Amino acid sequence: MCAGPARPTAASSSPGRKAAGPTSRRPLRRGFGSTLLEQVTGRELNGDALVEYPPAGVRARLRAGRQAVAPRPETVPEGPSQRIAETVVTSTGPASLKGSRVLIVEDAVLLALELETGLSEAGAEVVGPAYELEEAMALLDRPIDAAVLDANLNGRSVMPVAEVLAQRKVPFVFATGYGEAGGAPGGFDAPVIRKPYDVTQVAAAVAELLAAS
């Protein structure tokens, strides 16, 4: 699947027609939009993104892998019922994670970036995010005060990461959409926040873990 250049606009005109807008040029630094475009296309669509900056206007080509293209369903499934966070968060007001180093392990790019933003705004130094099990295991060599773990990483269990953290007595919270209510995955003594959730819930749960430890 490939998306070609957009239709000519004020900044991107057809040949022979003078562009009304300013000349486009490659940005001097890589911004959030470029990172998001490349991460989502590469990791979640198994494809690639190409952004070009000709003088007449910006052109973007997005290509998704065949396995990422799903057939159109005959019926529209009902939306999932809203799930309630299992962990009891007693903190009041915005959570403060100032000075703490928090590992994020989450295979959904958009959610990982949202978690990174929310925990950073709460004062944490984010380690990661790690999208794959191997990435998470490699990051365990770095100093970590707490962690937020998705239980399932593209079909692979996060339990190896949880086991290492538990051995090192590093507290962690499961933020996941997998498993049934009633306990943490793998039998760990850890809070569980079910998706969909608000990032402030996760920040508050991490803050409580750090305060308790």
Looking at residue 72, its amino acid is R
Domains of the chain: 22-69 (no CATH), 101-212 (3.40.50.2300)
Of 81, 131, 140, the C-alpha closest to 109 is 131
Average pLDDT in the 71-76 region?
62
Comparing 38 with 181, which gets the higher pLDDT?
38
Contact 95, 124 (CB under 8 A): no
Is the confidence at residue 65, as pLDDT, over 70?
A: no
Mean pLDDT of the chain: 77
- Band (pLDDT 50/70/90 cuts) for residue 161 is very high
The residue-averaged pLDDT of 163-168 equals: 96
4 contact partners, CB below 8 Å, separation of at least 6: 61
Q: What is the average per-residue pLDDT within 22-48?
A: 68
Q: Mean pLDDT, to the nearest integer, of 57-74? A: 69
75-125 residue pLDDT tens: 655 544 444 344 444 444 457 899 999 999 998 888 898 999 999 999 999
Among 8-12, 54-58, 93-97, whose mean pLDDT is lowest? 8-12
Please state, in angstroms and rounded to a whole number, the distance separating the CA atoms of residues 124 and 106: 17
Q: Which two tokens stand for residue 1?
A: 């699947």
Amino acid, single-letter form, for residue 127: V
Q: Which pLDDT does position 133 carry in this prediction?
A: 95
